[in-house]
Structure 1
Amino acid sequence: MPRPASHSPAPVRALLVLAIFAAALAAAGPLRAQESRGDASGELPERRRPAVGRCTLTGTVDAGSAAYLQDCVVDAEVAGYDALLVRIDTPGGALESTRAIVRSFLGAEVPVLVWVGPSGARAGSAGVFVTLAANAAGMAPGTNIGAAHPVVGPTGQDPEEAGGKAMGEKVLNDTIAFVESIAQQRGRNVEWAVKAVRESASVPAERAVELNVVDVVAPTEEAFLAAVDGRTVELPSGEVVLRTANARIVELEPSLGQRLVHWLANPSIAYLLFVLGGLGLAIELSNPGMIVPGLLGAICIILALVAFSALPVQAGAIALMLVGIGLIVAELFVASGLLGVGGMVLLVLGGVLLVDDVDFEWFVEPSFGISLGFLIPTVVVLGAGAVYLLVRAAEARTIPQLGGDVGLLGERGRALSAIGPGGGEVFVHGERWRAISVRPIAAGAPVAVRNVDGLTLTVEEIV
């Protein structure tokens, strides 16, 4: 007997499933072919917009700025940025800090791009090494790079003049070897790099491109990123093609500690803090109990010591400033005029000599130091202000005391009861007091205080 018709749909369902699956495969085939045709024609889906981290080196190269740039490299690597952009405007700085930055740039697993700008900026002295260490470098019009001969101190002495022939040759040869290794690794003009160190060669932006010191001249950061887009650069892990055109720029901020160290590593700031701190402490010691000058002075001295630890300073210059502060304070008691002027002269001289002129660990342009244009007005203003505060403090000492037992002498009041040698009561200074008097005083009579003995007042009647 044939099977019931009700069981016949099962094979039909199987055939339908196979038909649907085959249709899906047929539809997927054209789609994949369509994508392949799109690849062949260059019509790729929209690419992710590149992201570039940016950090800024302005002022001296010091421990604070070195730590900041090293952190920037690490942050850019961790975040997976397409590149790290470093904007530079520096006169130079500490040699060890420069080496730390260069090591970080040469070992970075993210392309490091250095742009000297904006117009008017410079990559002086230590800035030459930082720029050469970049994978790609550019400069804004009106900028310059160079003057990397090792000099020391605010007067720009040659190391040989400051420390003898042997020391001069040692510093010069070491610096030349340093810059040669950087230029060779980055494929830049080794001959010019050596010349910049040996002869203080310095060139503007356009000439720097011609000499293969930097790659491009670009007026803005965006123009620089667009100009280097598509270049192939070498990283420790291999070659990478730069994707920086129309990049999203992400600012990488320094930490508070790095900002503070970099701010303090400025001779003018360090000098100002030390002088202010010394004057504040001198005012407090001359007039104990004022508290505010002493507290502010202590804070300024601590900050100045932190700054001195990050700068090449001379102990003799600090001693001159201390003597100058002492003379200004002594002027209050002598009032000759000569001590105050002498103190100001010593403060100026100490500022001029503050930066150590035989410290070979710093690599800066000769302009690094404290200028007379800053020193003289600062010393005059601070000296005059200190004398004014000292004079006002001295005047305060001559004001009659209004508190305590002495403050009651001469105070007037009213007899609350009859007063005689045996005693009585008076109302003085808003308070009720026990009082005695040589002569009898009637209740209600006006009285004046002539002596204070513990809680007993000696009064007399005011006629």
Structure 2
Amino acid sequence: MRRASFPIVIAVCALSLLWVGTASAQAPTTSRVLVAKVDGSIDRTVAGYLTDSLAEGERTGAAVVIQLDSAGTLDQPAVELAERLFRSSVPVIVWVGPAPAKAQGAALLFMYASSLAAVAPGVGVGPLEPVDLVDAANAKLPDDAALERMASGWAEVRGRPTPAFPSSVVPAQDALDGHIAQVVATSLPDLFTKIDGSTVRTGGGPVTLHTEIAQSPSQQPVEVRFTELGPFDRVLHAVASPAAIYLLLVLGLAGVAFELTQAGFGFAGFAGLGMLALAVYGLTVVPAWWPGIGLLMAGVILLCADVLLHRLGVLSAAGVVAFLAGSFLSFRGVAPTIGISPWLIGFLGIGSFLYYGFALTVAQRSRERIATTQRGLVGLVGETRGELKPEGPVYVKGTLWRGRSNDGPIPPGTRVRVRGVDGLVLRVEPDPGAGGDLPPDEA
């Protein structure tokens, strides 16, 4: 019996070693998921956020799911970003969704470079050209044939069929049939369920995905973490578009111009400066045609000149023409997808004409009329209707004015004499010599 059992022991040991060897050869699994949302053009801020998300996924061993809705990069190295996705040592799953999301240009290149691409019903995929939304950036990229060879090589390494390269927008089913996408998923939870158990190839070798959300205590839990741009980065991303820059420029200049009709520099001026600062940042991200920006600025200056001259004439007409020409030419080097709408240009053109030609002119004349009236108040006696410390209400010649004390706080009900005018503010001081009621012409 002992001799008979010896071969059995040897066989069991051999089978055990074979099982261990097979298990060790299996692809590693990951039960961590990092979701990064890429929405809109991929500008400097979004490109940095995307590379940081990939680095975090590699550091934590999490599969990176990119929720994508983009028409391409914005003056960013599209091919380098796609190659970064392809070389990632952790799975990179690109999901275009929810509807009506799109993946065009560099975003489509990301689908080719991913470990697995998925689409939601109702989305649009393609075309690949233009890869970047700035014409000058596209001139530096490989030609169409080179990009297609690159994407086909990625598919071969991933073990996928050669993908299609649509010349126009195609629906989700065509993207699936053309081997651009491998899965159709209506939502992220649906995607996690459908790709669970799939083995995908990464820059570090094959990895088996464990992404299904646990429905019972017996299931292995999955750690899912959602990331997005921070508040400050969201603002920077929002202003990095031609339409946003144009709107900020026009409104910012209008706010600063408004202060030309005022004695001091108030809220409108500071708000205008803030908008102009954001517009300047946007111009560092989105390449502009500077002669067009110059025409736009010249148009506003001509409109302001007529405001100061109290008329509506040749300068205003020339200003409107320059304003409209600059509006159309400022961003002529970007793709129509992100270009400024002619409707927006028309609306702001008419609005600027009415604002500078009428509203600011009326405000300027009103201010000058008030200033003339105030200069006539110098030397008159009035009464404080509230405490001046140093400013407060002063009643002079039948009207309530804003007064400023020259000699410290002044209590309510004190007789004061107007000693000067600072813009729209009366400089006053107590007048001990004024007795009795105010004269009728000063009451």
Deviation at 1:190, TM superposition (A): 4.2
Aligned twin of 2:391? none
Deviation at 1:350, TM superposition (A): 2.3
Deviation at 1:135, TM superposition (A): 0.7
- Partner letter of residue 328 of structure 1? L
1:328 pairs with one of 298, 303, 312: 303
Aligned twin of 1:369? 339
Deviation at 1:118, TM superposition (A): 1.0
Q: TM-score, normalised by structure 1?
A: 0.68
Task: Determine what percentage of the aligned residue pairs are the same residue.
Answer: 26
Aligned twin of 2:323? 347
Deviation at 1:60, TM superposition (A): 0.5
- Partner letter of residue 192 of structure 1? A
* CA-to-aligned-CA distance 1:330-378 (integer Å, 9 cap, x gap): 3423533665455344333323322242x7xxxx5x3221111222223
Deviation at 1:100, TM superposition (A): 4.3
Deviation at 1:328, TM superposition (A): 2.4
- Partner letter of residue 198 of structure 2? R
How many equivalent residue pairs?
366
Deviation at 1:123, TM superposition (A): 0.4
Q: Say yes or no: does 1:98 pair with 2:65.
A: no
Q: Say yes or no: does 1:394 pair with 2:365.
A: yes
Q: Say yes or no: does 1:67 pair with 2:48.
A: yes
Q: Say yes or no: does 1:297 pair with 2:264.
A: no
What 5-or-longer segments of structure 1 have no aligned partner?
A: 1-35, 40-47, 414-426, 436-442, 451-461
Q: Does the CA contact (< 8 Å) of 1:67 and 1:258 recur in 2? A: no
- Partner letter of residue 397 of structure 1? E
- Partner letter of residue 33 of structure 2? V
Q: Does the CA contact (< 8 Å) of 1:138 and 1:218 recur in 2? A: yes
Q: Say yes or no: does 1:276 pair with 2:248.
A: no
Question: In 2, distance between residues paired with 1:375 and 1:322?
Answer: 14
Residues 9-408 of structure 1: pairs in structure 2 closer than 5 A: 50-81=31-62, 83-94=63-74, 96-150=76-130, 171-172=143-144, 175-176=147-148, 178-188=150-160, 190=162, 192-193=164-165, 196=166, 200-246=167-213, 247-285=222-260, 287=262, 289-332=264-307, 333=309, 335-336=311-312, 339-340=315-316, 342-357=318-333, 366-386=336-356, 387-400=358-371, 407-408=377-378
- Report SS of the residue matched to 1:149: coil
Question: In 2, distance between residues paired with 1:372 and 1:288?
Answer: 36
Question: In 1, distance between residues paired with 2:305 and 2:36?
Answer: 49
Over 3 Å counting, the alpha-carbon distance change for 1:245 and 1:406 in structure 2 is same
Deviation at 1:178, TM superposition (A): 4.9
- Report SS of the residue matched to 2:224: strand
Question: In 2, distance between residues paired with 1:101 and 1:257?
Answer: 23
Over 3 Å counting, the alpha-carbon distance change for 1:400 and 1:348 in structure 2 is closer
Over 3 Å counting, the alpha-carbon distance change for 1:288 and 1:313 in structure 2 is farther
- Partner letter of residue 342 of structure 2? L
Over 3 Å counting, the alpha-carbon distance change for 1:174 and 1:287 in structure 2 is farther
Over 3 Å counting, the alpha-carbon distance change for 1:182 and 1:279 in structure 2 is farther
Aligned twin of 1:42? none
* CA-to-aligned-CA distance 1:32-87 (integer Å, 9 cap, x gap): xxxx9xx9xxxxxxxx9944221111110111111111111122233333x22111
Over 3 Å counting, the alpha-carbon distance change for 1:314 and 1:187 in structure 2 is farther
Q: TM-score, normalised by structure 2?
A: 0.71
Question: In 1, distance between residues paired with 2:379 and 2:232?
Answer: 56
- Partner letter of residue 432 of structure 1? D
- Report SS of the residue matched to 2:275: helix
Q: Does the CA contact (< 8 Å) of 1:66 and 1:98 recur in 2? A: no
Deviation at 1:431, TM superposition (A): 2.6
Over 3 Å counting, the alpha-carbon distance change for 1:175 and 1:400 in structure 2 is same
Deviation at 1:446, TM superposition (A): 7.0
TM-align CA RMSD: 3.8
Aligned twin of 1:422? none
- Report SS of the residue matched to 2:170: strand
